[in-house]
Amino acid sequence: MSDVIELIQTHFDRLSKSEKKVADAILASPETAIHTSIASMAVLANVSEPTVNRFCRSIQCKGFPDFKLRLAQSLASHGSFVRREISPQDDMGTVVEKVIHSTISSLQELEKQIDHHALRQSVDILTSAKRIHFYGLGASGPVAQDALNKFFRLGVPVDASTDYLMQKMTAAMATPDTAFVVISYTGRTQPLIEVAAEAAMNGGKVIALTTPGSPLSEVATVTVGAPSRENTDLFTPMVSRMLHLTLIDILMTGVTLAKGDTVEENFRKVKSALSSTRRTI
C-alpha cells in the first residue's frame, strides 16, 4: 500500500485548483485531518464535500474514511517528520519546527525514491569526464559553487557558472568527454533548458538535478530527481536546495569510490594546504 503523504506530494501538480486546497490543508496539519469529519475538512479547506471526495479518489483512496486510515498509517511511519508549508502567520517556534521537520522528511523521501540506476549512470559520466561544468541560476547558483568546491579535488578541470552568457559559451564548446551538471528545482527555468539542450546537441553529457518529467529533464542525458514540493513563488527554496546539496555529496562520493586511489593524493594535498590556516588548540 502506497504512503498517502507521498501520494499527495507526488500527485499535487495534477490536482485541480480546489483539490489542491484540500491537499494544502491536510499537509499543513495532518494530525488534525485524521480526527476530522468530511464536513469539517471541507470547511477547513474552503471547498465542498464532493471536492474532498474527489481529492481522495485522485490520490488513489476509495473515499474519505479510507484516506484517514491511510493517513494515520503514514503518520505512524513518518513519525512527526511531515512536510508542512510555511505560512505568514507562523511564529518563530513554528517556523523552526516546520523547516527542520520538512528537511528531515524530504531527505527520507529522497532515500526511498532516488533512482539508483540514474545515479550509477551519472557517476559513470562524471568519472570518465575530462571536464565538468556545473550550471545554476538564482537559488541553484550556490549549489553549483558547492559542487565546484568538492569536485575540483578529483584532479580534472571543473568550473561552476551562474552567468547565462558564460553558460551559453561553454555549452557551445561541449565535447563527448565533457559533463554538464545542470541544477534546477523546477526544471522550468528557460535559460537553463536552453544551455542544457545546447550542450547535449554539441555532444556533451548532461546530468540534470531537477524534477523528473520537467522540460529540463527532457533534454538531459540522465536525470537525478529530487522529490520535493515547495512554494517557490512565495519563499526562497529551502528544502530543495538541501536535497540538491545532498545529491552533489552522493555523486562526489560515488565518483571518489570509482576513481579509488587516484584521488587520495589530491585529498591529502588539499588537507595539507589548509593545515596552516587553522589555529592550533
pLDDT tens profile 139-162: 899 999 999 999 998 989 999 999
DSSP 3-state assignment of 202? coil
Q: What DSSP element (H or E) covers 259? A: helix 239-259
Please, which pLDDT band fits residue 234 given cuts at 50, 70 and 90? very low
Model confidence, pTM: 0.71
> Cβ distance 195 to 162 under 8 Å?
no
- In the DSSP assignment, the letter for residue 15 is S
Can you give the pLDDT at residue 50? 95
Angle at 3 (CA atoms; ends 36, 227), nearest 5 degrees: 115
Q: What pLDDT shows up at residue 124?
A: 97
105 pLDDT higher than 80:
no
State mean pLDDT over 90-99. 81
Q: What are phi and psi of 27, to 5 degrees?
A: -70, -30
Q: What rounded mean pLDDT belongs to the chain?
A: 87
SS3 of the chain: helix, strand, coil, percent, to 5: 65, 10, 30
Span 180-190, average pLDDT: 93
- 178 backbone dihedrals φ, ψ, rounded to 5°: -110, 135
Report the number of secondary-structure helices (H) and strands (E) in the chain. 14, 5
Q: What is the DSSP letter of 63?
A: S
Alpha-carbon distance 224 to 246, whole Å? 12
Contact between 99 and 230 (Cβ < 8 Å)? no
